[in-house]
Amino acid sequence: MASSVLGCRSRSWNDNRRSRRKDPGTPRRVGLNLQLVYVDTNVLIALIEEKQREVLSLFYGAAEGKISFVTSEISLAEVLVKPLEMGRSDLVAAYSELLTNEPSLRTVAISREILRRSAELRSTLGGKLPDAVHVASALETRCRVLVSNDLRLRCPQELARLCVEEAEKELL
C-alpha cells in the first residue's frame, strides 16, 4: 500500500517548484550545496533505537553526500527522556554522539527568532511547542522538507512533511 494512501504525505516536497531536471524528484545540487532536510526527533529515535531500514538508508545517503540533515537542539531533550527513565546510559551516549559528532547532521540552536516563529506557527497551525520549534527551526534553516512520522505535525505550505518511507524514495 502506498504511503500516501496511509496519510504520510502532506504534499509533495516539490509541488511548487518548476524544474528542468529529468527527474524532479531527485535532490538538487549546486556546487557543494546539498539539499538540507530537517529531521524530527522521531526519525532520530527510529535510527538509534529501532534501526529502521528506511532511516538507515537516509543516513547512508547523507554519508554519501546526497543530502544533509538539520535538527534542533530540542531533539536532545526529547530523545533523552526514555533512556534516562530506563537507566540506559548506552542510549544516552549514542544520542549525544549522534547530535554532536555526526557530520551529516547539523544541530541548530534555539534562538529568539526561532522562538518567535514558533509562537507565530502555534497561533496559526496549533500544535505543541516542541513541534512548533521543529517547524520554525526547519524554516529558519531554509529547509524545504521536514521528515517526520508524526502525522499530527502540521507544516506551513512552504515546508513539505514527508514520512520516512517517502523521504527514502524521493530524496535518494
Q: Per-residue pLDDT for 129 more than 70?
A: yes
Q: Per-residue pLDDT for 30 more than 50?
A: no
**pLDDT > 90 fraction of the chain, expressed in percent and rounded:** 79
pLDDT at 16: 43
Element (H, E) at 126: none
120 alpha-carbon distance from chain centroid: 20
Is 156 within 8 Å of 121 (Cβ atoms)? yes
43: CB partners within 8 A, 6+ apart: 55, 58, 147, 148, 149, 164
Q: Per-residue pLDDT for 39 more than 90?
A: yes
Among 2-16, 44-58, 119-133, the least confident range:
2-16
Q: Per-residue pLDDT for 29 more than 50?
A: no
State the average pLDDT over residues 50-76.
95
pTM: 0.81
State the average pLDDT over residues 140-148.
97
Q: What is the pLDDT of residues 109-119, one digit of tens each?
A: 999 999 999 99
pLDDT at 17: 40
pLDDT at 34: 62
Q: Per-residue pLDDT for 32 more than 60?
A: no
Q: Say if domain 35-171 classifies as CATH 3.40.190.10.
A: no
How many helical (H) and strand (E) elements, i.e. helices and strands, does the chain have? Answer: 7, 5
